[in-house]
Structure 1
Amino acid sequence: MKRSAGWICLCVLLLALSAVLPTGCANIIPPSGGAKDTIAPVLLQSTPRDSTRHFTANRIVLNFDEYVTLDNYIENVIVSPYQKKPPQIDAKLRTITIKLKDSLEANTTYTINFGNAIKDVNEGNIAKQFKYVFTTGDTIDNGAISGRVQLAATGKIDTTLLVVLHNNLNDTAIHKLPPRYYAKLDGKGRFQFTNLPQGRFNMYVIPNDYNKRMDDSTKLFAFMDSSVTISAPHPNLVLYAFQEFVEKPRTSSNSQANANAKKKTEDKRLKFTTSLSAGNQDLLGNIEFIFNRKLKTFDSSKIILADTNNVPVKNVRYLWDTSLTKITLIHPWPEDTEFKLLLQKDAISDSADVSLLKGDTIRFRTKKESEYASMRLRFSGLDTAKHPVLQIVQGDKVIDSMPITKKEMFWPKYHPGEYFLRILLDDNNNGTWDPGHFWEGKKQQPELVFPADPAKVNLRTIFDSEWDVKIQYDLPPDAPKAAPKAPGNKSTAPSSNKGKPGRRN
């Protein structure tokens, strides 16, 4: 019996070891973490429940299906109608708790829109535009209105702006009172109000400041010409934001004192710089002389543009800027040519009768035509009654602006680079963009600027660039598109084989 018992124990031990120890031919597979979580948090329960009627609570609890966190809820969460005392909102594990700090109005529908504030803890998936709704009355208001906001001067979008609704229809309300409702813009400049009561509102666009009021006419602002009625259907509304006045840079007392001190110790000599770049002159530009002080006298006969043999060049004229600190030399420059500028010391003097320390000779060469591109634009959708003006933009600066009076425009020489094309609707036909007016006198909407189609062109040296440009009189639903590589938008050589890329002769 003892021997049998021993054999049984030995067999059990061997079976146990075979189950635990790996065999030589087994595949070792590392543990898998599973698929990445891409699902946003889902609400399981709310107390009181969403869309509650006759709401009287001051505390709301939201339970989700996973751990959640709040991303800058003070900035992201919007309570409508506007409350002077914002709620306190906390997130812990799977629960978000809202504690209302302000009193609630009778028979009023409230919405708490979290925007993009609610995220899951693990992957940061956003519960986009999550909203909790309740009413202190019998019914949930279902009025809605939507639209978009565009910057009038550029056709661009500023997503930091707010759209506000005032039920006080007096124009001074935007200045004196907080809004009844407000909404943020999405990445495409769109806004939407929901759960609004029936009635009339004035609609404005303002910066996202703490007091939600328009208290400075140098800030971006937009307004509707008339109030909007929530009970009536509306087309997609568009508001055009503008700065009525441009803020002037302020000079502090310290900076003024520093300027006065610098003035006492500055060099008394009359000096200047020129616009020449590394001894080269742009064929499309003029030569500018910038002086360190205002000038009193200027004798153009003592500033001579000459060839390399010191022979004066004809067809030269000068402009003296109204600031009295800049003189411009204008001449039709030939390509790849050497010149001299001969300046006599008494050609110029400042208000203290100080002249140049000595005469000067400045040598330079004009650029070659091969350093430039050419550009031809063919326009479709042209309506000259709208006074369209072509704006050519580089960076944030309008470097060229001209009325579009014909279907084709050509520049034989243009600086190579990337440019944006915009169309200004020049209502008063003065050639420049004019802002709107709201604060003083008659109300007037700003003049509008829209991106052309294509909105972007790229000019290369040596090549002739041709573009078919569609004039748009509205903001496209998506961001301005880069110029497509398609027939009609091409770089070509001016030859009988039009359409084949090549060098200019």
Structure 2
Amino acid sequence: MSTTETKIYKAIVRWALFASLAVGLLARCASQAAPRGGPRDTLPPKVVAMTPAFGTTNFKDKRIYIEFDEYVQLKDQQKEFYTSPFMVKKPSVALRGRGIQIDLKEDLDSNRTYALNFGQSVADNNEGNPYTGLRYVFSTGDRIDSMLMSGYTVDAQRGDTVGNVFILFYEAASDSVAKYLTPEYDSVVYKLRPYSVGRSFPNGIFIAENLRPIDYRIYALEDNNGNQTYEPGADRIAFLDSTCNPLTQPGFEMWYDTTRRYMQADPQVQMRMFKEEAARRQTLTGSSRPLGNKVLLTFSSPHPQIEELSFEGIDSTAVVTEYMASKRDSMVLWFKADVDELPDTLKGRLIYRKHDSVGVLRPDTQQLRLAWRSAVKKDKKKDEDENAAPEPNPFQVKVAGGKSINPEKNIVFEFAYPLVRIDSASIRLEHIEGEDKAVPVDVTFRQDTLAIRKWTLRAPWVADEKYRLTIPAGAFENTSGQSNDTLRSEFTIESPDKFATLVLNVQGETPESEYIVQVVSPEGRLIKEQAHVRTGTTTLRYVDVGTVKIRIIRDDNRNGRWDTGSLLERRQPERVEFFVDDAGSEEIVTKENWELVFDVDMQRIFAPVTMEKMMEKIERDDLIRLREIAKKRAENAKNKGEHHHSSGMSGMSGMGGMGAIGGMMR
């Protein structure tokens, strides 16, 4: 579409909207009560007058009154009502007669178009039917800005819709924007108020109105705290890499969605929302001793620089350090000693680099005093009683698995305390080939590189075959000096015939390009993941039977995980897309013993986002949404026609789900 055609098309759309609003304003209908016994009122209130009039130019008033054809109420005003542009002092909105009165609390900028957006905050007084999309527009200059833009707000990692997001427009050519925006650093959102503001609907579509035909820098803000300011770590944010001018954007269609009851549009741009790590000053935020031989230290910022950490009377080699997350902002210290051997108060010293008042990291010394006293004291008399029942072994471990084992997941052990000794040679795994024949199998027992209390037992498993695992008493010893009792278990290796297999013939964008392929449920639950995927064949076995999707992350830095973006550094989050089959569907139906082969062209999947591509995605999501609605309605109708017999059933819960290996505690 040419620039001229775009101007004409948008002009028609704008006049159509204005005409529909004018009809609503001129329609002064008398308020009539519904006859007794009549149908329930489902219509929203109607605007009968606005003072000053809608679209007033050279506006100088401080008070606005909007009159309706019936009494109204205000609902969720703080969440629904906003101004464009944002005002430092929010206008007050109050009920007056059959209308609402708005009082402006600050002086307005000259030659500026303003809009008061009420969302769904205004509803009729009797039935609570909301007036969706009520707006009051005026200008302090001699004209009303009238350009439109549309777009779509989505979560950058999951691809889900993000609704009720503010869309912020900044004049790209202004000196202030140039001052706070460079190719390497962006603080515009922190320093400036936007020139104009829009908001996305619950389904992620937005239609920004009252724009000028100029270049804008566009951002999207999920304002979780309702303060109309961006807070890293709390709010999601998005930004476009280049400027956008409403006049030169492709034309788009708009329509009224009768199901959702608000306007819809073809999106011109896509805003990929991400949550970045909050830039916090580094400091020690907490120190505690939850167990006698366990100390927890937490820091305000990732990767603290620790220069010294010592405790009086305790050798540094007798302390095991565990980081609770990859950011290393929380750490657990495990002491290799019996609780009774440690003092009631641990005295220590921590020297780490802490931010000073001007944000410079400098060495800081923190004295630690960590008290702990056991709430349970040993009964010496009971200990001396030879006939007393022995106390249960305190050694604890959780083992993932059951009577059947997935050979790709192996057997994962999670210990309550870090291990200090392992007799891996004593672990015996046997392949049961008959009633009287068991063949020893070599095993490896390896610690997780990130979670030090997790260990995995691996072996050359054979599908559909039985195995016997024996771990003798004393094979494991933890930091508390506790050791395990004997474990014996028999289990079967799951057959791939009970699962589906996905074979992906991957064609990367370049020979060096790497991707992360994820198999997820329709709700987004991660089922399987394969990192470092390049051009070639990737086979995903043991895929759950049912409906799944293939989510693909373009791993730009090749670290095997999705990385979020940074507003200050103007770095976009790594792009995530879903594989779409030849039938145009994201959903893949899998069945037992099926092998599904797909050609995955990353060049096509990660092609530039166009309006057509966004609309295809939205239509696919709508079809799924409508199908789920129909399914729920059918289930409700079926349930209404059936009798529910619940007596005597509540106590019939089985003990399944905890197999011979899964759930082993001691």
User: Structure 2-normalised TM-score?
Assistant: 0.59
In structure 2, the partner of 1:223 is 239
CA contact under 8 A between 1:304 and 1:342: conserved in structure 2? yes
In structure 1, the partner of 2:476 is 348
Amino acid at match of 2:52: P
Q: CA deviation at 1:36?
A: 4.8
Amino acid at match of 1:274: V
The residue correspondences of 1:23-422 to structure 2 (distance < 5 A) are 33-92=37-96, 94-167=98-171, 168-169=176-177, 170=180, 171-197=186-212, 199-208=214-223, 209-216=225-232, 219-229=235-245, 232-233=248-249, 236-245=268-277, 253=286, 256-259=288-291, 264=339, 265=374, 269-277=394-402, 279-307=403-431, 311-322=438-449, 323-351=451-479, 354=481, 356-358=483-485, 360-367=486-493, 369=495, 372-376=498-502, 384-385=509-510, 389-394=516-521, 396-402=524-530, 403=533, 405=535, 413-422=542-551
Cα deviation, 1:113-171, whole Å, max 9, x if unaligned, reads 22222223344433221211111221112233332222111111222432223343113
CA contact under 8 A between 2:79 and 2:226: conserved in structure 1? no
CA contact under 8 A between 2:65 and 2:102: conserved in structure 1? yes
Q: CA deviation at 1:252?
A: 6.8
In structure 1, the partner of 2:586 is 455
Q: CA deviation at 1:305?
A: 0.5
Task: Flag the 1:436–1:379 CA change in 2: closer, same or farther, 3 A.
Answer: same
Q: CA deviation at 1:411?
A: 5.0
Cα distance in 1, alignment partners of residues 544 and 398 from structure 2: 23
Amino acid at match of 2:618: P
Cα deviation, 1:17-47, whole Å, max 9, x if unaligned, reads xxxxxxxxxxxxxx87445544432222211
Cα distance in 2, alignment partners of residues 483 and 50 from structure 1: 37
Cα deviation, 1:333-373, whole Å, max 9, x if unaligned, reads 33444322222334333346x35254x13212215538822
Q: CA deviation at 1:303?
A: 0.8
In structure 2, the partner of 1:445 is 572
The answer for unaligned runs of 5 or more in structure 1 is 1-30, 486-505
Amino acid at match of 1:432: R
Q: CA deviation at 1:81?
A: 1.9
Q: CA deviation at 1:430?
A: 4.7
Cα distance in 2, alignment partners of residues 328 and 312 from structure 1: 21
The answer for unaligned runs of 5 or more in structure 2 is 1-34, 181-185, 252-267, 296-338, 340-373, 377-391, 628-666
The alignment status of 1:464 with 2:590, answered yes or no, reads: no
Q: Percent identity?
A: 25
Q: CA deviation at 1:103?
A: 1.8
Q: What SS does the corresponding residue of 1:175 show, helix, strand or coil? A: helix
Q: CA deviation at 1:109?
A: 1.5
CA contact under 8 A between 2:199 and 2:208: conserved in structure 1? no
Cα deviation, 1:438-463, whole Å, max 9, x if unaligned, reads 334xx322221123333334545x46
Q: CA deviation at 1:251?
A: 9.7
Cα distance in 2, alignment partners of residues 164 and 188 from structure 1: 18
Cα distance in 1, alignment partners of residues 127 and 284 from structure 2: 49
Which of the residues 547, 555, 561 maps onto 1:432? 561
Amino acid at match of 2:409: G
Task: Flag the 1:414–1:226 CA change in 2: closer, same or farther, 3 A.
Answer: closer
Deviates most, 221-230 or 183-192: 221-230
Which of the residues 449, 456, 477 maps onto 2:618? 477
Cα distance in 1, alignment partners of residues 278 and 411 from structure 2: 30
Task: Flag the 1:36–1:224 CA change in 2: closer, same or farther, 3 A.
Answer: same
Cα deviation, 1:281-305, whole Å, max 9, x if unaligned, reads 2344201122222222323211111
Q: What SS does the corresponding residue of 1:455 show, helix, strand or coil? A: coil
Q: CA deviation at 1:72?
A: 1.6
The alignment status of 1:423 with 2:552, answered yes or no, reads: yes
Cα distance in 2, alignment partners of residues 180 and 72 from structure 1: 25
Q: When the two structures are aligned, how many residues end up with a matched partner?
A: 445
Cα deviation, 1:42-93, whole Å, max 9, x if unaligned, reads 2222111111122222221222223332222222122112111112222355
Deviates most, 287-296 or 371-380: 371-380
Task: Flag the 1:324–1:477 CA change in 2: closer, same or farther, 3 A.
Answer: closer
Larger radius of gyration: 1
Q: CA deviation at 1:242?
A: 1.8
CA contact under 8 A between 1:204 and 1:224: conserved in structure 2? yes
CA contact under 8 A between 1:68 and 1:92: conserved in structure 2? no
RMSD: 3.8
Q: CA deviation at 1:238?
A: 1.5
CA contact under 8 A between 1:78 and 1:114: conserved in structure 2? yes
Task: Flag the 1:132–1:456 CA change in 2: closer, same or farther, 3 A.
Answer: same
In structure 1, the partner of 2:370 is none
